[in-house]
Chains A and B, each alone.
Chain A
């Protein structure tokens, strides 16, 4: 039995009528299986077939039925694809072994309430079919078979109260200068099942007016006002009010590839992934340079992973960039992932670690889709003083939420992520703050791992330099740390 029969059986109370669209390669034994394993009242066979081909498929079943070995549906016949008699009431449209996925499109005119199908990767995507079906279908399930890889399932049920699939949240503070470019690039995709939530974090400039101006022509744009509280609180404000099944975040001073969210949503929905993420460009504002960033995007992540070990690796090895992905809302809710609103910066670091620790499946889109604006005055990345101490409250939260789960693998990856973060900070921080930073880092690192074990692990996963830095921090060897800082 394959998914189609199982699904028909699952919806047995609702579906008794079906139209089956097949290609010329459809095998009679598959048809027999379908009839044998389900209890349909009406089954209409159609597709790019001649009368003769269809007869060849149906004849063996009729012989079985005459011998009393099979119970046929009470209506069981063939209709040519351009003259399908639409069954009365709700029915399911099924498709299998199509010659071209596009062959099914004329039948969407019948407005089936259910659509279950199996298609091959390479033609029209399951996402495209879903886009055509979503207005009138209640339940769509499309299995995409892929060469040399596991099948992916798009499984979508209509929510009668809410038709938003994706919410994009913009935490907004003093970004009027860049807002035009950002809004134009994001709204270029005209799908009506997304919403753009601009959270105005008490911004003193005229960004509010700019958004309202755009909102006049685009009902998908919504403005939310809140008192100033920092980026994390603005993201949380938006997250609490987002309706989408997936949620994404953008910094409004950046801009995106016009197809970004379509690509991410397509990757996520075809396969029901918890997280889908893409690559990004670094855009240097001072000299206009654009550079694609190296990251973990290739095999096996571009094919989608469900292996926890592979997903947990991302905790350490994936770059911190909340805005290049979309996240399944139900996962965030179930794992109670939220932003730590009292922390004023680097709020995407805990978010990354918590989401990858909770995700059951992840897929990467292997191309850069987002333009990350750098070398802008007042940006987080520019901090090189005591503002870097913010890492410690962040890791205190993570010790509780991630290491508190007591999974040894996740704890180890968290420890590696800590070492990486501290390395980044130590290399950057001004000398007068170094001593205090190292002291706090030592306390922090001691909570999640034993010294000798972590040394070995760090050497294996992050390389010699990071292992040395860890040793330096733990043994309070300032000479070693300063040497590493010079070498950076």
Chain B
């Protein structure tokens, strides 16, 4: 049943998830094709997750390997697991999510359609809403299909092979940064010295840009993926805490890496784009306690970004360039603290909408945009 030399390893970092862990590990055991290994990294859980994982490892010694460490965070746990991988490919899975039972089978099928093995394969996950029990589509499904299946086709048509230097290849950067939806080639990761950021949240962001920048070939697998569980806790407990502040160091590091390595301006525009969407979203989600530190952090960071990148971003990457330009200007100015009140933000956005409607500006914007993009 198990293959001698599996081709894929999945690293599962575990931290206080006793409620969901069994479901996660069951989905890894019950695959239609068994050609994978599992490395469970217990990141110093305080509940019974460690025992559950150990139990599974004892029952399936040929499949699951169990390692422990003192609590260091998700990024560090993934790094620990990654260091132990001896297969050609590696992927990650968070322990409250689970795999489709045909994950390995479909991945192998897709790999068999390509002569050369890709550096990165993107799968297409689903979102499972724990509150409504509905299964929803992944956020960037259509973007992914445009990238990898430009000609449409059915389930059995092979994915296009692409990288950032191909036409439209830059759009790879705007896929979700989640590491769990990717399968990386181990030799490629070793070559580029890939690792996750430790000690911060949003540990996926820098590796996302780092890996895609260096990848020679990326493919997409749209027929399978993992299930991403959302909406598990009370909405106010899951809201913004201190971890939201981590977007600043994370993006500062990413931008630094890009500038140091002399990336294209175009590529840096995509970093700013992701930074901007994270920022807007974090500002909305952060609670009263951390909103001011967050705004201050953004204010200081955004002042250090060279003007040419910001101009590139507002011109090319946002559909609301007027709105975003004004918010950026406010954030750069010393009056950025007014944004701490959600009513001010909502009213500001309402104001832009009204101005737009009054001036019938939409048509003008469309015209400018059409001219710019030919």
Shortest Cβ gap from A413 to chain B (Å): 11
Against A, the Cβ 8 Å flags (1 = close, 0 = not) of B209-233 are: 0000000000000010001000101
Q: Which residues of chain B in 26-52 are interfacial with respect to chain A, using CB atoms and an 8 Å cutoff?
A: 26-27, 29-30, 32
Indicate whether B308 reaches chain A with its CB closer than 8 angstroms: no
Q: Is the CB of A453 within 8 A of B289?
A: no
**How many angstroms from the CA of A359 to the CA of B130 in the assembled complex?**
12
Indicate whether A3 reaches chain B with its CB closer than 8 angstroms: yes
- Number of interface residues, chain A, beta carbon within 8 A: 41
Q: Is the CB of B237 within 8 A of A39?
A: no
Shortest Cβ gap from B22 to chain A (Å): 12
Q: Which of B101, B132, B287 contacts A12 (CB 8 A)?
A: B101
Q: Is the CB of B133 within 8 A of A155?
A: yes
User: B156's closest neighbor in chain A, by CB?
Assistant: A69
Q: Is the CB of B101 within 8 A of A406?
A: no
Indicate whether A410 reaches chain B with its CB closer than 8 angstroms: yes
Indicate whether A137 reaches chain B with its CB closer than 8 angstroms: no
Residues of B within 8 A of A331 (CB): 234
Residues of A within 8 A of B288 (CB): 406-408, 411
Q: Counting chain B CB atoms within 10 Å of each CB, which of A271, A331, A360, A410 scores highest?
A: A360
Indicate whether A153 reaches chain B with its CB closer than 8 angstroms: yes
Q: Is the CB of B236 within 8 A of A39?
A: no
Q: Is the CB of B131 within 8 A of A39?
A: no
Against B, the Cβ 8 Å flags (1 = close, 0 = not) of A274-302 are: 10000000000000000000000000000
User: A457's closest neighbor in chain B, by CB?
Assistant: B343
**How many angstroms from the CA of A99 to the CA of B134 in the assembled complex?**
24
Shortest Cβ gap from B92 to chain A (Å): 20
Residues of B within 8 A of A272 (CB): 131-133
Q: Is the CB of A453 within 8 A of B235?
A: no
- Knowing A358-B235, A360-B234, the reply to whether A271 touches B132 (Cβ < 8 A) is yes
Q: Which of A6, A37, A361, A456 contacts B131 (CB 8 A)?
A: A361
Identify whether the interface residues of B are mostly helix, strand, loop, or mixed: loop
Residues of B within 8 A of A9 (CB): 100-102
Q: Is the CB of B134 within 8 A of A150?
A: yes
Indicate whether B341 reaches chain A with its CB closer than 8 angstroms: yes
User: A410's closest neighbor in chain B, by CB?
Assistant: B236
Indicate whether B116 reaches chain A with its CB closer than 8 angstroms: no
Q: Is the CB of A405 within 8 A of B287?
A: yes
User: A6's closest neighbor in chain B, by CB?
Assistant: B135
Indicate whether A181 reaches chain B with its CB closer than 8 angstroms: no
Residues of A within 8 A of B27 (CB): 10
Q: Which of B29, B126, B156 contacts A6 (CB 8 A)?
A: B126
Indicate whether B155 reaches chain A with its CB closer than 8 angstroms: yes
Q: Is the CB of B102 within 8 A of A335?
A: no
Against B, the Cβ 8 Å flags (1 = close, 0 = not) of A1-21 are: 001001001101100000000
User: B235's closest neighbor in chain A, by CB?
Assistant: A308
Indicate whether A425 reaches chain B with its CB closer than 8 angstroms: no
- Knowing A69-B156, A306-B131, the reply to whether A407 touches B239 (Cβ < 8 A) is yes
Q: Which of B101, B223, B291, B343 contacts A10 (CB 8 A)?
A: B101
**How many angstroms from the CA of A453 to the CA of B342 in the assembled complex?**
12
Lowest 5 CB-CB distances: which A-B pairs, in order?
A: A360-B131, A406-B287, A12-B101, A155-B133, A405-B236
Cross-chain pairs A/B with CB under 8 angstroms, 15 sampled: A9-B100, A13-B26, A69-B156, A150-B134, A271-B132, A272-B133, A306-B132, A308-B235, A311-B235, A335-B234, A357-B234, A358-B236, A406-B289, A408-B342, A409-B342
B residues touching A (Cβ–Cβ < 8 Å)? 26-27, 29-30, 32, 98, 100-102, 126, 129-135, 155-156, 223, 227, 231, 233-237, 239, 287-289, 291, 341-343
